Structure 1
Amino acid sequence: MIHFDLIAPVGEILRRNARLYPEKMAFEDRRRTVTYPQLEAETEALAAHFAASGLQKGQTVAIFLPNSVNWVVACLAVVRAGGISVPVSIESTEAELAYRLTDAECTVLVSVPEKRPMVDAVLSRLDRPVIVTDADPVSGFGGIERPQSPGFEDDPDVDRPAYIVYTSGTTGQPKGVLLSTRSMLWVTAACWTPIAGMNEKDVVLNTLPLYHSYALNIAVLSIIATGASEYIMEKFSTTRATELLRTGRFTFMPGVPTVFHYFLSACRASGEKLLSSVRLCVSAGAILPGTLNNDFEEFFGVPLLDGYGITETSTMVTMNWPGRWRVPGSCGLPLPGLTVRVVDPKTGLDVPAGIEGELICKGPNLMQGYHNKPQETQKAVVDGWYRTGDLAKSDANGFLTITGRLKELIIRGGQNIAPAEIEETILLDPAVMDCAVIGMPHTMLGEVPIACVVLKDASAFDEAALLTHCKERLSAYKVPDRIFVVGEIPRTGSGKILRVKLRESLCCLSG
């Protein structure tokens, strides 16, 4: 069931692929393409360059690049050199970039020339030197040749920390999660190959931002582990995705729920069913509403498999399998080899099927800890069990449904309300395109739920009708006190709702 043969050092995987697929495209973006032999050669040359420049084993390198072939080359080269890759969003502000460079103690930063003003401004405020290596969007790292002096050898250790991936920071300051090549490729071996069937024949259309663990796993490491090919979108746009899918090249498309939502809306409007060549779509990063899942599969006739994952578990914890036996709204079954429990957050005891509790898990894909945060690590991992902070229910057959987060619970007059339940209900209304629910202070009840919606036609909005829709489907204490129309729902790159930012914008609006 678990394909353990896929777990190997990055250099070994690339050398194998260069031998097996001498003319095969590995990665492509809108500017350039690399075959597997080219990928092996470029990553080896850049890894040797890092080593010759003074990068020591275990030192950290920030990858501050847009989604691109260059991003993949830089990330894999760092690991081959024995360093630790630290993905940083190219859309980061100066403060966000400075925080990650400082927190991860980066000694090298890989970026692009157009970001040099920001990079120089940030580095001028740091108290230590950071070596900067620029990538050309067209030639990549072509100007960097492998040093002639001996000394570089591929790092063979799959168990050391190889990546520091930052959490979304939806509930506080982002934390750097230490992940190994083994833990990441274990997810490939236990999920993407046996469940989703990813293999060397697949051509993947990647819509995900590579700096997130979900994308690093499925759209970088799983591609090379299986020998698949991939087109990397620099940034998701429905228009560009439509153009690419019209070519009929692609067989596999990962995304977050918002990607599938907007893509379905666009294709319904145009009447085009563009997934004729796609055998499978997978969703993770945020809760996929059951209605969206059903509507997508009914319109396109292509399976959309939902899963649940978190950075601290090298992405996936559960996944739906292809076939008939799926539970609407469920994120599926635990991965083979991973142990999952649903417990009472106060007592730590397992709760019966159908009862909500906190999801905890234990397995080979668990993080090695939070970088330089031992106390945070001890709070999160208790007796080997990672406390996810996510609320879930399990049915009698073991299918799990995520119901919300402990820290996002709205407590109205002593009654617990999960925002996700209200959001799922509101999204049943055909007039609503997107939705997010937050708790707002109330003098008598403590908190009340407030809904923010993005409408397909704002001119036809009827708040009373939408509230009636909620009252027909929810207990009275769960019905939103107010519904606000907004232009968009702020989300992280992985699709999670930024409730703090939404709450701040509503406070400004009401103030």
Structure 2
Amino acid sequence: MIRTDLIAPMGALVRRHGERQPGKLAFEDSSGASLTYGQLESQSAAVAAHLQDRGIEAGDKVAIMLPNSVDWVLSCVAIARAGAVSVPISQEAAEAEVRYRLEDAGCKAIIVGVSHLPLIERLRRELPALTRVIVAGSDDPTDQLSLALLAQSAARSNPRDPEDVHATAFLVYTSGTTGRAKGVMLSQHSMLWVVAASWAPIAGLHENDVVLSPLPLFHSYALNLCVLGVLAVGATEFLMEKFSTQEVTKRLASGRYSLMPGVPTMFHYLLEAARSSGADRVKGIRYFLSAGAILPAALNQEFEAFFGTPLLDGYGITETSTMVTLNWPGTTRTMGSCGLPLSGLAARIVDMEGHDVPFGSEGQLIVRGPNVMQGYLNKPKETEEVLANGWYHTGDLAKSDANGFITITGRLKELIIRGGQNIAPAEVEDAVLSHPAVLDCAAVGISHPHLGEVPVACVVLRDGQVVDAEAIRAHCAQLLSAYKVPQTIEFVQTIPRTGSGKIMRFKLRDALASAASG
């Protein structure tokens, strides 16, 4: 079943709930700020009208660089209602990463928090396209526009809401094996189709739900479920600024919340904390939802057994507007499997020649459907490669049982997934190689009991150079987001490569594993 009534322009969705239940709480955050549906409708209209009046046209890019907050949601809805494209940027992104995204997207405007305003002002001098800066978190900026003041403005609150749900509405950057982040072009239709095909009919998301979300909103998973999903059905949500085991545990005990999405790392920490404290039950939660990384079968079983609440696992990627598969509640599940393909989606597991493999055999998962991205911004070659013959080639290895349940078994691509966040090895390598003492480098992911994987950099120093590991890590911290900084630096004599120069990462992983076990 697909809830086609949920696939509508964001302006229409927010008007629907704003008119029907204007006083209902829509979103609240850790700062104490909140928005009812009536306020979200009127304030997003005011901000959207301002953007249009100041020259933001259909298809223009507007970045959001804010913490998880009602301001984040307000900005996203307003940008969509202005017909522009949201470009989410992490609060933890390094300056080089922020510059690349703003420049690659050609952003004309950005909505940014006060704490990051100095950074944006520096970059603005280098980015002539960036002509408008809107500040959140201050009612009285000296020479900038305040999001709060714009939201309350009554100068003109009737934006020209776009009706085309198939136009690009979101540009979400994701790490790739080439090292440079790729801007994934997604439409309201592709994102809301996932809401209509999975979150509403399978997870049962509905208007009476109160969602507890610790997920970062700049990720496609949270953007889809925790912004569009909640908005589409008219639910209520509490946005945590970031995940905290202690705070989540406290809130789960309140009995207020009915759904909580997360990544496997979060559920591991919650289980360990609950075991330590003896708090073996949560109140009111109907389901926990997991995506973003592989959920180990043992963790899934232990979590459900301890809390007595279903933990539904799914598989998704940014290029498919998040979800491809999801486990249905109330049915026999194969632990370790990420479930069945969503309605309306075609999924195949193929060999290197593109032929379907038998049940139980491993191959690459490829998918086709209305949730697949429009392509990568400014990267026609990469787009053509992954969308070959009309199918999105995920680069993930999988197998399927006779009942169609899919299990992800590995990756053709070299991404490191740390706590649900993707890290391109080449991006880490570029940062390490920029240190003057480093001759060669290869980054690999190694197993971690809580985070799934963490990056490790194998480093060859230049002749005569002496530098310690912490100095290299500190150098990387100036160039990379904190989660991308190598967990450890391993000094080696040489980097194993193929005859064509490609890094043989499996040899490095094997050597590191052998050293750890020895």
Q: Same fold (TM over 0.5)?
A: yes
Aligned-residue offset at 1:138: 8.6
Matched, 1:388 2:394: yes
Which residue of structure 2 aligns with residue 190 of structure 1?
A: 197
Would the alpha carbon gap of residues 454 and 393 (structure 1) be closer, same or farther in structure 2, given more than 3 Å must change?
A: closer
Matches of 1:399 and 1:454 in 2, distance apart?
Answer: 26
Give distance in 2, aligned partners of 1:17 and 1:182: 19
Q: Residue 137 of structure 1: CA displacement? A: 6.7
8 Å Cα contact 2:172-2:318 kept in structure 1 = yes
How far apart in 1 are the matches of 2:391 and 2:338? 20
Distance 1:26 1:358, change over 3 A: same
Stretches of structure 1 lacking an aligned partner (at least 5 in a row): 410-418, 424-435, 439-446, 457-496
Provide the C-alpha distance between the structure 2 equivalents of 1:383 and 1:393, rounded to a whole number of angstroms: 21
1:48–1:146 Cα contact (<8 Å) kept = no
Question: What corresponds to 2:79 in structure 1?
Answer: 78
Q: Which residue of 2 aligns with 1:488?
A: none
Contact 2:107–2:130 under 8 Å retained in 1: no
What are the within-5 Å matches in structure 2 for residues 51-62 of structure 1? 51-62=52-63
Give the whole-Å Cα distance in 1 for the aligned partners of 2:233 and 2:158.
Answer: 30
In structure 1, the partner of 2:51 is 50
**Relative to 1, partners in 2 of residues 1:171 and 1:137: Cα closer, same or farther, differing over 3 Å?**
farther
Q: Per-residue CA shift, 1:64-108, capped at 9, x if unaligned?
A: 111100000001100100000000001111101000000111000
Say if 1:329 and 1:104 are closer, same or farther in 2 by CA, change over 3 A.
same
Aligned-residue offset at 1:207: 1.0
Deviation at 1:172, TM superposition (A): 2.2
Q: Structure 2: which amino acid aligns with 1:47? A: A
- Counterpart residue identity of residue 489, structure 2: S
Code of the residue aligned with 1:505 in structure 2: it is I
Take 1:309 and 1:394, find their aligned partners in 2: how far apart are those partners? Answer: 16
Partner of 2:7: 7
Shift of 1:14: 0.6
Alignment partner, residue 489 of structure 2: 505
Give the distance between the partners of 2:490 and 2:237, measured in 1 at CA. Answer: 40
Partner of 2:169: 162
Q: Find the residue that maps to 2:67 and give its secondary structure.
A: coil
8 Å CA contact 1:52–1:147 kept in 2: the answer is: no
Distance change >3 Å, CA 381–CA 197, structure 1 → 2:
same
**Could you tell me which amino acid in structure 2 is paired with residue 285 of structure 1?**
G
The answer (yes or no) to whether the contact 1:44–1:146 under 8 Å persists in 2 is no
Counterpart position of 2:322: 315
| Aligned amino acid, residue 199 of structure 1 | H
Q: CA deviation at 1:453?
A: 4.0
Corresponding position of 1:249? 256
> Quick check: 1:48–1:81 contact (8 Å CA) kept in 2?
yes
* SS of equivalent residue, structure 2 residue 489: helix
> 2:379 corresponds to which letter in structure 1?
K
Query: Helix, strand or coil: the match of 1:106?
Result: coil
Aligned partners of 1:452 and 1:331: how far apart in 2? 20
Q: 1:174–1:455: structure 2 CA closer, same or farther, 3 Å change rule?
A: closer
Cα RMSD of the aligned pairs, angstroms, is 2.7
- Cα distance, 1:272 vs structure 2: 1.1
Partner of 1:108: 109
The TM-score, its normalising length taken from structure 2, stands at: 0.79
Kept in 1: contact 2:46–2:159 (CA 8 A): no
Matches within 5 A, 1:442-457: 451-454=446-449
Q: Which amino acid aligns with 2:215?
A: L
Q: 1:274 to 1:77 in 2, by over 3 A?
A: farther
1:143 and 2:127 correspond: no
- Are 2:384 and 1:378 aligned? yes
Q: Which amino acid aligns with 1:12?
A: A
Equivalence map 1:224-235=2 (5 Å)? 224-235=231-242
Partner of 1:340: 347
Distance 1:282 1:318 in 2: 12
| 1:407 partner SS | coil
Alpha-carbon distance change, 455 to 384 in structure 1, aligned in 2, over 3 angstroms: closer
5 Å matches for 1:346-495? 347-408=353-414, 451-454=446-449
> Could you list the runs of 5+ residues in structure 2 that have no partner in the other structure?
141-145, 426-441, 452-481, 493-511
For 1:324-335, what aligned pairs fall within 5 Å after superposition?
Answer: 324-335=331-342
Report how many aligned residue pairs link the two structures. Answer: 435
Q: Is the 8 A contact 1:255 1:282 kept in 2?
A: yes
Return closer, same or farther for 1:160/1:273 CA change in 2, 3 Å cut-off. same
Deviation, 1:286, is 0.3
| Alpha-carbon distance in structure 1 between the residues aligned to 2:373 and 2:446 | 35
Kindly indicate whether the alpha-carbon contact (under 8 Å) linking 1:104 and 1:371 is maintained by their aligned counterparts in 2.
yes
Give the residue type in structure 2 aligned to 1:9.
P
Kept in 1, the 8 Å contact 2:46–2:158? The answer is no
Q: Which moved more, 1:14-23 or 1:103-112?
A: 14-23
Q: Report how far residue 241 of structure 1 moved.
A: 1.2
- d(CA) in 2 for partners of 1:117 and 1:315? 33
